[in-house]
Amino acid sequence: MNSGSRWVGLVLVTTIAATSPVAGQLPDWVAVDSAARTVTLSLEAQPGGPDGIATLNGHHHGDLQLVVPLGWTMKWTWINRDSAATHSLVVVAEREKLPSAGDRPALENALSRAVATGLRAGQRDVTTFVAEQAGWYWMICGVPGHAIRGEWLKLKVDREAGTVTVIVSRET
């Protein structure tokens, strides 16, 4: 094996390690009740992201994927901690490009109040919905322009999943 082959192997291992979930560990803002088939999320829009965007619990540009088993109930508390802008949250179907604004949710009731105008700093909303359709989704800020600037996370509703998983894929 030449040195170039070893380098490719090293890069591959680093990439796999950076995108793999840590077994049994979930962020403190994710609570799972397997018996009730429920996942509860405490989500916050926080200032201080790259290029002045808000982050979603410190994440942005789809660097976090939440995997939820098909048929589970999702509950979230959404709080805007950004005093400079309004923010909202809506689940939309993943497609070729991020939408410029949020509209109708892909899963029934999977949205915060005031999707297009957003909640002001300090406001909160509570949402409950069922992950009733397997597929790939984005959890985006629905305020026009926010998602395409980076205010979004990935959501996979997976018929094969046995429990909730969080996968962070930041570049190393």
**Residues near 74 by beta carbon (within 8 Å), at least 6 away in sequence:** 38, 39, 41, 68, 110, 128, 129, 130, 131
> What is the predicted pLDDT for the residue at 10?
31
pTM: 0.84
State the maximum Cα–Cα separation within the chain, in Å, rounded to a whole number: 59
> What is the predicted pLDDT for the residue at 25?
86
Return the residue matching tokens 């709080």: 79
8-61 pLDDT, tens digit per residue, is 333 332 233 334 444 458 999 999 999 999 999 999 999 999 999 999 999 999
Q: Smallest Cα–Cα separation from 116: which of 145, 96, 159, 78?
A: 145
Which of these ranges, 24-33, 134-143, 151-160, has the smallest mean pLDDT? 24-33
> What is the predicted pLDDT for the residue at 15?
30
93-106 pLDDT, tens digit per residue, is 999 999 999 989 99
- Written as one string, the DSSP assignment of the chain is --HHHHHHHHHHHHHHHHHSPPTT---TTEEEETTTTEEEEEEEEES--GGG--EETTB-TT-EEEEEETT-EEEEEEEE--TTS-B--EEEE--SS--SS--S-SSTT-B-SSTTT-BPTT-EEEEEEE--S-EEEEEE--STTHHHHT-EEEEEEETT-SS-EEEE----
Tokens representing 83 are 């005093």
Pairing of strands 55-56, 152-158: unpaired
Per the model's pLDDT, the better-predicted residue between 108 and 169 turns out to be 108
97-138 pLDDT, tens digit per residue, is 999 999 899 999 999 999 999 999 999 999 999 999 999 999
> What is the predicted pLDDT for the residue at 150?
96
> What is the predicted pLDDT for the residue at 24?
56
CATH number, span 3-168: 2.60.40.420
